Structure 1
Amino acid sequence: MDDSSFGQAVQDLVSRDADLARIVREHGRPVLWTRPPGFPALVLFILEQQVSLASAAAAYSRLAESLGGMSPEAIATSTSEDLRASGVSRQKDRYLRALSAAVLDGTLDLESLAELPDDEVRRALVALPGIGPWTADVYLLACLGRPDLWPIGDRALQVAAAEALGLAAVPDPASLTALGERWRPLRSTAARLLWHGYLSRRGRVETRPELLA
């Protein structure tokens, strides 16, 4: 997905969905949220698990600075104390080391993921400790630009859908799956619109992709 196809997808969705159109009317059209594919992006997604975007971005910045860059080699040769000083929990320390080891020994070929179907990308990623369906889905959506991803385990997306659709309760993953059917085959764009409304209402912004440069 590029800016042109994203713009067309937004236009298509808002022309036929009043709830998504309201988000654009109230908060403007979002920019295309992407992240460069590769190891740094997966590190950031792991750090974002169950914490705010701002907290994860701060931890990532501290860690990259302390290691002199973000690479599997840098993580593998660091100490647990190095990671803890940057705000990385013991559990995420284990996840980052498992990811680094898989990349270094060839178990995970990050470059080849772009050529694989969605389900095969998921299988390759969730085979690693600490990478579940949410991490795999947002990597597919944000890094590989797949057009019809719907991260049902994303709490912000659940809340965003409830707010945008005026639901009485925040949908669980099963309910969010059903809700997402109305936006096939453009669910990645629908998710971006819902996240845009969610963040705008709270005065927050997406993490800038420049952080991973």
Structure 2
Amino acid sequence: MIDVATLAAADHHLETRDPRLAKLIAAHGPCTLGSRERSPFHVLCTSIINQQLSLKAADTIQARVMQHVGAAAEFTPASLAHADPEALRAAGLSRSKARWLTDIAGRVLEGSFSFEQLATLDDEAAIETLDALPGIGRWTAEMFLIFALGRLDIFALDDVGLRRSLDRLYGKPHNDAAARRCTAKWAPYRSVASWYLWRMVDADEGDWG
């Protein structure tokens, strides 16, 4: 969990480095990133479920899957490792997602994948380790680093919402190279800056120029 003092320091850093982002912070702060504690396994499962879905659809499917596997509060490896694939599909998961979830749950139970070990790695090494798992690409790995490991300096270039908000914030399009240059000034708090850009998506903000 990211503590309040760290988030306050991040807000101050971002406000002083970027006047445009300062407007978002004034409108939507303080940042509450990391305020909900979930197990790393649960966060990874929900990240897989959320892939290519609207938030509403993902929430509905997640609730159905949890009901099918008897997970009262959050997913556990034991609740998913031996789940009936057809039951998972009936809950709304694609065949691929059902297979990925049960595969990862099995790896955790047998000890071939460890969240504790993952937490000791630097950002890029952790992303590469997660990317080797079935169903996990770079975007999913980056979301996991932000929301499960509390890594503070992640900007997901492949996140469509972030890229649209970045373009709107500055009033011009950014290719990958331009986005990297633009967000470099937010280091070492690019995850917090991302949280504010997501608020821009949520609120459908207008011109922040």
**Are residues 1:151 and 2:156 paired?**
yes
What is the Cα deviation at residue 128 of structure 1? 0.8
Who is 1:207 aligned against?
none
Q: Which runs of 5+ in 2 are unaligned?
A: none
Runs of 4+ in 1 over 4 A off after TM superposition: none
Q: How does 1:74-113 map to 2 (within 5 A)?
A: 74-113=79-118
Letter in 2 for 1:184: A
TM-score by length of 2: 0.87
Q: Which moved more, 1:95-104 or 1:33-42?
A: 33-42
Who is 2:3 aligned against?
2
Matches of 1:123 and 1:18, distance apart in 2: 34
Q: Deviations over 1:111-165 (max 9, x none)?
A: 2222222222122211111101111111111111112111111111111111212
The 1:182/1:93 distance shift into structure 2, 3 A limit, reads: same
Matches of 2:82 and 2:107, distance apart in 1: 14
Matches of 1:56 and 1:173, distance apart in 2: 28
Partner SS for 2:133: coil
Matches of 1:37 and 1:180, distance apart in 2: 29
Who is 2:78 aligned against?
73
Among 52, 55, 63, which residue is 1:53 paired with? 55
Give me the identity figure in percent: 33
Partner SS for 1:115: coil
The 1:28/1:116 distance shift into structure 2, 3 A limit, reads: closer
Letter in 1 for 2:92: G
TM-score by length of 1: 0.85
What is the Cα deviation at residue 28 of structure 1? 4.1
Partner SS for 1:87: coil
Partner SS for 2:196: helix
Who is 2:42 aligned against?
40
RMSD: 1.9
Q: Deviations over 1:8-47 (max 9, x none)?
A: 1112211331111111233443322455242111000001
